[in-house]
Amino acid sequence: MSGKYFITTYGCQMNVHDSERIAGILSGMGYEACDSIEQADIAVFNTCCIRENAENHAYGNIGMLKKLKQANRNLIICVGGCMMQQIGKADILHKKFPYVDIIFGTHNLDNLQSLIEKKLAQKKAVIEILECDGSVKEDEAMLRSSYPNAWINITFGCNNFCSYCIVPYVRGRERSRQSSFVIDEAREMVAEGYKEITLLGQNVNSYNNGTDDIKFPELLRRIAAIDGKFRLRFMTSHPKDFSEDLVRAIADNEKICNCVHLPVQSGSDRILKEMNRKYTSGDYLRKVEMLKKYIPSCAITTDIIVGFPGETDEDFEDTMRLVRTVGYDSAFTFVYSRREGTVADRMPDQVPEEVSKERIMRLIDLVNSQTREKSATYIGKTVEILCEDYDDRKGMYLGRDEYGRMAYFASDQNEIGNFLDVKIEDANGISLKGEIVNKR
């Protein structure tokens, strides 16, 4: 088979990595990537359902494809991902957009080749959504698109059932990949020249719970022991399982970045209980203290939801207080989004949108001021940056330090994938600007 494909991805890093798997399947079939959907013979939408706005965004983009399909009858439009995995969503999409050719879920992404072959042999749409069978695929063909970063899945699914979250329903029960396969994949990535490895899972700290295989801190240690210069990161850590052993593994290994994403979600104990997070704000702050005791410079980032059902002004003030206490390097802030089928969706006292909006603006102001303060401390310092990309608009290269802080700098040669010492001259909110003083 030959032709061109274009993949549009919504949502989190997990989905970005799933798209690398989709690209691996399509290129294995003989298709080549192209730069715009207009040139494509196969257009894939990898959807996300974690919040309503990601869903609306996908609907909007799929809706705009009607004209393209009319102009090119041979175009194959595929819609997959976790939005399709929600009960009834595939039928709604099929009725709304009858010109979509293939609809698939998160658990049959690997069948994409056979779904495409089926579609090529029949006129009507192919719809296949499978339930999670609990299996874990190893050794999958990927077409990685994020050099110098290599994403590696270590767990799939989630068992935590936070009351607001749809993930456990669409991604299934938590299961881990075997450590030997993960370590081999990491070794292969380093040998291929990748300079940063990020281990991915909804809750990496529960890696291999319930099996005899090694646990997460040991997995980190073994990957950090691979020869070569590279950085090792991971996400996401659930605070309830964030252990001292893990912090020691980070502290003892140069290659493991001193940067931890530790979603708190709320600073109110009452709301945390309603969210089913299984920790109090005190438990969380004690883990942060433990982390800072071992690694005083460690960057801490978080996720926060405002406007969870029943959140009062006092609950929100508790969140503001906790944010001030921790002093985050950066934070993702979300307005609570009702997800059908979750426990929180059935709770009374849904918070009015205007109230949530007002709260999130105040929270964003606070988080931004903390981020700006941290950025300002960089001025005059020289930091090691891994160059990740080139920004056409700015005409500058960009990369991050081990703490995840983004820096821009100029160079007249391709620096992507290089470690560089950059002297910071300017700090503009979240990003820094500097000059290369040394190349490694």
Stretch that binds ligand 5AD, among 2-10, 224-232, 329-337, 384-392 (CB under 6 A): 329-337
- Out of ligand SF4, ligand 5AD, none, what residue 305 binds, judged by CB under 5 to 8 A for its kind, is ligand 5AD
The CA-atom distances, in angstroms, between 48 and each of 11, 254, 427 are: 5, 35, 33
Looking at residues 279 to 338 of the shown chain, list those that interact with ligand SF4 (rule: CB under 6 A).
Answer: none
- Out of ligand SF4, ligand 5AD, none, what residue 260 binds, judged by CB under 5 to 8 A for its kind, is none
Containing 306, the helix (H) or strand (E) segment is: strand 299-306
Looking at residues 333 to 352 of the shown chain, list those that interact with ligand 5AD (rule: CB under 6 A).
Answer: 334, 336-337, 339
Best CA proximity match to 263, nearest among 285, 237, 241, 288: 237
User: Shortest distance, CB of residue 327 to ligand SF4, whole angstroms?
Assistant: 23
> According to the binding rule CB under 6 A, does residue 161 interact with ligand SF4?
yes
Contact letters for ligand SF4, residues 190-209 (x by CB under 6 A): ------------xx------
> According to the binding rule CB under 6 A, does residue 45 interact with ligand 5AD?
no
Best CA proximity match to 329, nearest among 285, 381, 371, 377: 371
- Out of ligand SF4, ligand 5AD, none, what residue 161 binds, judged by CB under 5 to 8 A for its kind, is ligand SF4
Containing 390, the helix (H) or strand (E) segment is: strand 382-391
Number of separate helices (H) and strands (E) present in the chain: 14, 19
Task: Find the residue with minimal CB distance to ligand 5AD.
Answer: 303
CA distance 12 to 18: 10
> According to the binding rule CB under 6 A, does residue 263 interact with ligand 5AD?
yes
Figure out which of the listed residues 158, 223, 259, 422 binds ligand SF4, where binding follows CB under 6 A. Answer: 158
Q: Radius of gyration over alpha carbons of the chain, in Å?
A: 22
User: Shortest distance, CB of residue 276 to ligand SF4, whole angstroms?
Assistant: 8
Figure out which of the listed residues 58, 79, 100, 167 binds ligand SF4, where binding follows CB under 6 A. Answer: 167
Toward ligand SF4, which CB reaches closer, 194 or 336? 336
* Number of Cβ atoms within 10 Å of the Cβ of 306: 27
User: Shortest distance, CB of residue 275 to ligand SF4, whole angstroms?
Assistant: 8
Toward ligand SF4, which CB reaches closer, 65 or 83? 83
CA distance 126 to 122: 9
CA distance 294 to 296: 6
Figure out which of the listed residues 62, 165, 197, 204 binds ligand 5AD, where binding follows CB under 6 A. Answer: 165
Query: Between vectors from CA 227 to CA 224 and to CA 232, what angle results, nearest 5°?
Result: 30
Figure out which of the listed residues 102, 165, 300, 398 binds ligand SF4, where binding follows CB under 6 A. Answer: 165
Residue count at the site for ligand SF4 (CB under 6 A)? 10
Alpha helices in 29-108 (DSSP H): 52-63, 66-71, 82-85, 89-96
What type of residue is 129? I
- Out of ligand 5AD, ligand SF4, none, what residue 287 binds, judged by CB under 5 to 8 A for its kind, is none
Looking at residues 210 to 239 of the shown chain, list those that interact with ligand SF4 (rule: CB under 6 A).
Answer: 238
The CA-atom distances, in angstroms, between 396 and each of 35, 114, 393, 411, 432 are: 21, 43, 8, 7, 12
Looking at residue 270, the DSSP 8-state letter turns out to be H
Stretch that binds ligand SF4, among 22-30, 103-111, 128-136, 165-173 (CB under 6 A): 165-173
The CA-atom distances, in angstroms, between 184 and each of 28, 152, 188, 360, 403 are: 22, 11, 6, 43, 26
User: Shortest distance, CB of residue 165 to ligand SF4, whole angstroms?
Assistant: 3
Q: What are phi and psi of 134, to 5 degrees?
A: 80, 0
Which residues make up the interface to ligand 5AD (CB under 6 A)? Answer: 12, 50-51, 164-165, 263, 265, 303, 305, 334, 336-337, 339
Q: Which parts of this chain interact with ligand SF4 (CB under 6 A)? A: 158, 160-162, 165, 167-168, 202-203, 238
